[in-house]
């Protein structure tokens, strides 16, 4: 009797594994959860934001089962290539350096401007102390611009550095800064010129994962074509945002 | 949580706070205190076991074996924690998956290393990608425990190695004179007496371990510092029902109190343990106790 039970469990297990390989794969979506409106943690503790809504819709269209995973920005690419999750949707700009290590789908957020935000008018952004998040295109840009770069691990800390005077200005995606400037009641303001950076935001995938990339690419194309991506962009980034 | 929480913007401060402090994210925050305590409760004994084992190996009279122990201690102590946590864990995870891949998917025809990518068959994934989230969390938690144990085990090994050598030679010679074998001398004379020398070093390690938990987030385990930073950050009304400014100071104040209280409790407990270990020992402390009793 014992033997029969063992054999059946073994059979069931093998069958389950074969199933897992054919179609029951869950796509794990990696994100940072600290960059509103792109992605953030809502009041009930779940991943929320533009990328959450877009990602869920893409998964429905590509007929995939998806699940969201939070990961620190610093280790977000190493954990992707190591297959701890399958995609990155974390407001990650498409750049050549990143493209060498991972693959990107087409952009789901058009190339946008990055902007400086300071606590006072008249800051010369080419010589001032500028805060930026570590390992972002903005940090790379500031380092080359001749300004003094101070790096922080999270977007929140870059803005806090300006508020408490540690830095003269913060340099980040304009869409991240806009709601903060709006809410600050005059304490924060845009300074200097806007700078177009990066090749838009895309979904990061492993280079070997071509099937998955095609599926998501097709879904993004479809969403661009029927205008639903534009509707999402306007919903999360306001009327003035660039659309497709 | 409470019935009156449907529209927080209309509430007075006390009720607003009651609602705010019971949101889903705050529950995760409170939960993370348990995660950290659990991690410490499991890691400390495991790390001590690693350290004890490594110290024994390092003391071995067979040279190659003692080299193994000594190089473990030297290597792990030499590598910065953060590098260890970033790369060792990923390597360990890949090693486990590689072994499972070899066993479970013999007819897999693609290479496992494709450029920088590490790709194994779905069945070899640990945990399976379709496994519920708590399995993933438990897995990364176990990896965290193991990594902490290896890192702190190396430090503990060094402390214990030193403590074993600090036991007065005369004690061991006496044991030998009584005809005890090496094994008996070790377990009956050396080990019981070495703890009193090891404890100050070990208690130091414990204090460092308590404060090392933010490394957890590198492994995807959300610890109290991660949540304090996340919750304390400025929240604009567009993305939350409970907008507030930069409250990180208050959250970190809570952490400060937690850590100080925890440190104090640890100190008291360690002090008692020290008292107990000192009893009857051939040390200055043991002598003092003997005199006080007499």
Q: Which of A196, A214, A229 is the last residue of a domain?
A: A196
CB contact under 8 A, B234 and A69: no
Using a CB-CB cut-off of 8 Å, the residues of chain B touching A208 are: 110, 114-115, 117, 119
Nearest CA in chain A to B119: A83
Q: Chain A contact for B201, CB < 8 A? A: no
Using a CB-CB cut-off of 8 Å, the residues of chain A touching B116 are: 81, 101, 207
CB contact under 8 A, A72 and B23: no
Nearest CA in chain B to A44: B24
pLDDT at A24: 60
The reply to whether A153 and A212 lie within a common domain is no
Asked if residue A242 is part of any domain, the answer here is no
Using a CB-CB cut-off of 8 Å, the residues of chain B touching A209 are: 117, 119
Predicted TM-score of the model (pTM): 0.78
Half-sphere exposure of B132 (CA within 13 A, CB side): 1
The reply to whether A54 and A153 lie within a common domain is no
CB contact under 8 A, B123 and A43: no
For an interface test with B, the pick among A28, A31, A82 (most B C-beta atoms closer than 10 Å) comes out as A82
pLDDT at A1: 46
The reply to whether A58 and A106 lie within a common domain is yes
* Residue span of the structural domain in which B124 resides: 3-293
Confidence of residue B7 (pLDDT cuts 50, 70, 90): confident
The reply to whether A121 and A191 lie within a common domain is yes
Using a CB-CB cut-off of 8 Å, the residues of chain A touching B118 are: 81-83
User: Which H or E run contains A106?
Assistant: strand A103-109
pLDDT at B286: 84
Mean pLDDT, contiguous 10-residue spans, chain A (244 residues): 48 43 72 89 89 94 91 87 90 90 92 89 88 91 91 89 91 89 87 86 92 93 92 88 82
CB contact under 8 A, A81 and B238: no
The answer to whether residues A38 and A90 touch, using CB atoms and an 8 Å cutoff, is: yes
pLDDT at B1: 63
Residue A72 tokens read as 């620190």
pLDDT at A150: 94
CA-closest candidate to residue B158, choices B221, B204, B126: B204
CA-closest candidate to residue A60, choices A206, A216, A227, A214: A216
Residue A16 tokens read as 């389950």
CA-closest candidate to residue B146, choices B84, B198, B202: B84
What's the CA gap between B139 and B210, in Å, rounded? 21
Q: Chain A contact for B266, CB < 8 A? A: no
Q: Residues B37-56: pLDDT tens digits?
A: 999 999 999 999 999 999 99
The alpha carbon of residue A110 is apart from the nearest alpha carbon of chain B, in Å, by 22
Nearest CA in chain B to A30: B220
Interstrand relation of A113-118 and A148-152 (parallel, antiparallel or unpaired): unpaired
Structural domains counted in chain A: 2
Q: What is the CATH number of the domain that holds A161?
A: 3.40.190.10
Higher-confidence residue of B5 and B257: namely B257
pLDDT at A10: 47
Report the 10 Å Cβ neighbour count for B284.
9
For an interface test with B, the pick among A37, A75, A160 (most B C-beta atoms closer than 10 Å) comes out as A75
Predicted confidence (pLDDT) at residue B181 exceeds the cutoff of 60: yes
Asked if residue A99 is part of any domain, the answer here is yes
Predicted confidence (pLDDT) at residue B137 exceeds the cutoff of 50: yes
For B219, residues 6+ apart whose C-beta sits below 8 A from its C-beta are B85, B89, B140, B143, B144, B147
Confidence of residue B4 (pLDDT cuts 50, 70, 90): confident
Closest Cβ–Cβ partner in B25, B120, B236 for A183? B236
pLDDT at A125: 86
Using a CB-CB cut-off of 8 Å, the residues of chain A touching B248 are: 160
The reply to whether A222 and A107 lie within a common domain is yes
Nearest CA in chain A to B117: A81
Asked if residue A148 is part of any domain, the answer here is yes
The reply to whether A213 and A233 lie within a common domain is yes
Nearest CA in chain B to A33: B230
Asked if residue A243 is part of any domain, the answer here is no
Using a CB-CB cut-off of 8 Å, the residues of chain A touching B128 are: 20
Using a CB-CB cut-off of 8 Å, the residues of chain A touching B240 are: 42-43
The reply to whether A62 and A95 lie within a common domain is yes
The reply to whether A10 and A74 lie within a common domain is yes
Interstrand relation of A129-133 and A148-152 (parallel, antiparallel or unpaired): parallel
CA-closest candidate to residue A215, choices A110, A103, A111: A103
What's the CA gap between B153 and A224, in Å, rounded? 54
DSSP per residue, B77-130: HHS-HHHIIIIIHHHHHHHHHHHHHHHH-TT--S-SEETTEE---GGG-SS-TT
Closest Cβ–Cβ partner in A34, A71, A208 for B117? A208
The reply to whether A36 and A81 lie within a common domain is yes
ipTM, 2 decimals?
0.74
Closest Cβ–Cβ partner in B27, B116, B217 for A72? B217
Q: Residues B231-282: pLDDT tens digits?
A: 888 887 878 888 888 888 999 999 999 999 999 999 999 999 999 988 888 7
Residue A89 tokens read as 């949707």
What's the CA gap between B99 and A209, in Å, rounded? 22
CA-closest candidate to residue A188, choices A233, A235, A123, A107: A123
* Residue span of the structural domain in which A177 resides: 113-196
pLDDT at B215: 81
Q: What is the CATH number of the domain that holds B227?
A: 1.10.3720.10
Asked if residue A28 is part of any domain, the answer here is yes
The answer to whether residues B237 and A183 touch, using CB atoms and an 8 Å cutoff, is: yes
Residue B105 tokens read as 């998917």
Confidence of residue B18 (pLDDT cuts 50, 70, 90): confident
**B102-125 burial, b if ≥16 CB within 10 A, otherwise e?**
eebbeebeeebeeebbbbbbbbbb
The alpha carbon of residue B288 is apart from the nearest alpha carbon of chain A, in Å, by 52
Confidence of residue B216 (pLDDT cuts 50, 70, 90): confident
The reply to whether A82 and A23 lie within a common domain is yes
What's the CA gap between B96 and B115, in Å, rounded? 20
The reply to whether A175 and A123 lie within a common domain is yes
Structural domains counted in chain B: 1
CB contact under 8 A, A43 and B136: no
pLDDT at A222: 93
């Amino acid at each position: 009797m014992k033997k029969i039970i063992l054999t059946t469990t073994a059979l069931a297990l093998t069958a389950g594994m074969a199933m897992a390989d054919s179609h029951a794969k869950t796509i794990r979506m990696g994100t940072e959860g600290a960059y509103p409106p792109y992605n953030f943690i809502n009041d009930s503790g779940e991943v929320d934001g533009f990328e959450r809504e877009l990602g869920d819709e893409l998964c429905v269209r590509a007929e995939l089962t998806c699940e969201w995973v939070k990961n620190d920005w610093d280790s977000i690419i190493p954990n992707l290539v190591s297959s701890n999750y399958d995609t990155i949707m974390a407001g990650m700009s498409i750049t050549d350096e990143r493209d060498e290590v991972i693959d990107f789908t087409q952009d789901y957020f058009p190339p946008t401007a990055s902007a400086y935000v300071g606590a006072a008018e008249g800051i010369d952004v080419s010589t001032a102390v500028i805060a930026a998040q570590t390992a972002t295109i903005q940090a790379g840009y500031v380092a080359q611009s001749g300004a003094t770069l101070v790096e922080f691990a999270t977007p929140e800390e870059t803005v806090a550095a300006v508020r408490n005077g540690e830095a003269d200005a913060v340099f980040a995606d304009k869409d991240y800064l806009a709601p903060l400037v709006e809410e600050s009641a005059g304490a924060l303001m845009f300074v200097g010129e806007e700078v177009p950076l990066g090749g838009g935001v895309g979904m990061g995938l492993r280079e070997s994962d071509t099937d998955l990339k095609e599926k998501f690419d097709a879904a993004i194309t479809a969403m661009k074509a029927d205008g639903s991506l534009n509707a999402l962009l306007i919903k999360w980034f306001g009327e003035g945002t660039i659309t497709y | 949580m409470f019935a009156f929480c449907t529209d927080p913007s209309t509430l007075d401060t006390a009720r607003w706070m009651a609602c705010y402090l019971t949101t889903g994210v705050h529950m995760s925050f409170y939960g993370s205190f348990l995660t950290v305590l659990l991690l410490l409760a499991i890691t400390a004994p495991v790390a001590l076991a690693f350290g004890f084992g490594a110290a024994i190996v390092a003391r071995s009279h067979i040279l190659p074996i003692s080299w193994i122990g000594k190089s473990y201690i030297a290597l792990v102590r030499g590598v910065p924690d953060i590098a260890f946590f970033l790369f060792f864990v990923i390597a360990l995870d890949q090693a486990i998956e590689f072994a499972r891949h070899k066993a479970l998917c013999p007819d897999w025809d693609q290479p496992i290393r494709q450029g920088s990518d590490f790709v194994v068959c779905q069945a070899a994934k640990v945990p399976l990608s379709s496994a519920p989230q708590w399995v993933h969390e438990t897995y990364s938690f176990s990896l965290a425990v193991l990594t902490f144990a290896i890192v702190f085990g190396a430090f503990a090994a060094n402390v214990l190695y030193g403590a074993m050598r600090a036991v007065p030679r005369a004690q061991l010679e006496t044991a030998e004179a009584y005809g005890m074998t090496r094994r008996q001398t070790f377990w009956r004379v050396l080990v019981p007496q070495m703890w009193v020398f090891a404890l100050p070093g070990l208690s130091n390690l414990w204090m460092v371990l308590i404060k090392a938990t933010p490394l957890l987030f590198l492994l995807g385990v959300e610890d109290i510092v991660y949540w304090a930073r996340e919750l304390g950050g400025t929240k604009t009304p567009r993305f939350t029902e409970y907008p507030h400014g930069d409250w990180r100071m208050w959250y970190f104040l809570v952490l400060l109190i937690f850590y100080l209280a925890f440190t104090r409790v640890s100190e008291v407990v360690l002090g008692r343990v020290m008292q107990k270990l000192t009893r009857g020992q051939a040390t200055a402390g043991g002598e003092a106790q003997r005199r006080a009793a007499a």
